[in-house]
Amino acid sequence: MHKVLADHIKRFISIDDKNLSDILQVFQLLKTEKKQNLLTEGKICQANYFVIKGCLRLFFINDKGVEQTTHFAIENWWLADYTSFEKQEPSTFFLQTVEKSQLLALYYTEQEKMLKHFPQMERYFRLMHQRANAAAQCRIKGLYELSREESYRQFNKNYPEFVQRIPQYLLASFLGFTPEYLSEIRKKAIS
């Protein structure tokens, strides 16, 4: 399991095998069930999760009681409530598995120690956050520029693996649609 993360780290930074081996020791393997909560609103996000196998989602419950998904993570992606994690303050989000998953958890205190001892990991995490931020910027731009149907088509084009794996009601929540509207868009695409 740690080999997947080791390969991922090596794609982004240069690091010798001894240091990489020491770094990987701080991660804890978690095997989860489908729909298992890793974080609930009001709790402090204690870990940043790297997905080995499976899928995660970050969501909040709006004032109407509706779940609004803001992020997904599949294999080789990271996910946490980064505000709660970094500040160690209560979260306004839920973090949940979409599928049965295998994750590597990097707990806050372990991350701080690791970054002190292995400063090259600062570069790795900076690159991960830049990539995630770029994706978020594109998503936000799309909310302003694209129709809802165009938004779905672009998401389907850019992330077909999500469209295949994620239940329609979660995909609709992520795109800001009702499941019924998403169903209509999909029917049009097939016709």
The pLDDT tens digits for 45-98 are: 999 999 999 999 999 999 999 899 999 999 999 999 999 999 999 999 999 999
**Rounded Cα–Cα distance for residues 9 and 90 (Å):** 29
138 part of a folded domain: no
Query: Looking at the DSSP assignment, which residues form a beta bridge with residue 47?
Result: 107
Sheet with 78-79, side-by-side order of all strands: 28-32, 101-107, 47-53, 78-79
| CB 19 within 8 Å of CB 10 | no
Answer yes or no: do 15 and 82 share one domain.
yes
Regarding whether 22 and 107 lie in a shared domain, the answer is yes
Q: What is the pLDDT of residues 102-143, one digit of tens each?
A: 999 999 999 999 999 999 999 999 999 999 999 889 888 888
pTM to 2 decimal places? 0.91
119 and 62 fall within a common domain: yes
**Residues 44 and 84 reside in one and the same domain:** yes
164 and 104 together in one domain:
no
Instruction: Please state the three-class secondary structure of the chain as a single string.
Output: CHHHHHHHHHHHCCCCHHHHHHHHCCCEEEEECCCCEEECCCCECCEEEEEEECCEEEEEECCCCCEEEEEEECCCCEECCHHHHHHCCECCCEEEECCCEEEEEEEHHHHHHHHHHCCHHHHHHHHHHHHHHHHHHHHHHHHHHCCHHHHHHHHHHHCHHHHHHCCHHHHHHHHCCCHHHHHHHHHHHHC
State the pLDDT at residue 153.
86
Higher pLDDT, residue 76 or 183: 76
27-36, 63-72, 178-187: which is most confident: 27-36
Angle at 189 between CA 188 and CA 191, to 5 degrees: 65
Our count of domains for the chain comes to 2
Q: Is the pLDDT of residue 156 over 90?
A: no
Q: Are residues 154 and 69 in the same domain?
A: no
CA–centroid distance for 154 within its chain? 19
Question: Burial of 108 by CB count in 10 Å (0-12 exposed, 13-18 middle, 19+ buried)?
Answer: middle
Tell me, yes or no, whether 59 lies in a domain.
Answer: yes
Looking at the structure, do residues 170 and 118 belong to the same domain, yes or no?
Answer: no
Residue 15: domain span: 2-128
- Whether residue 135 is contained in a domain is answered as no
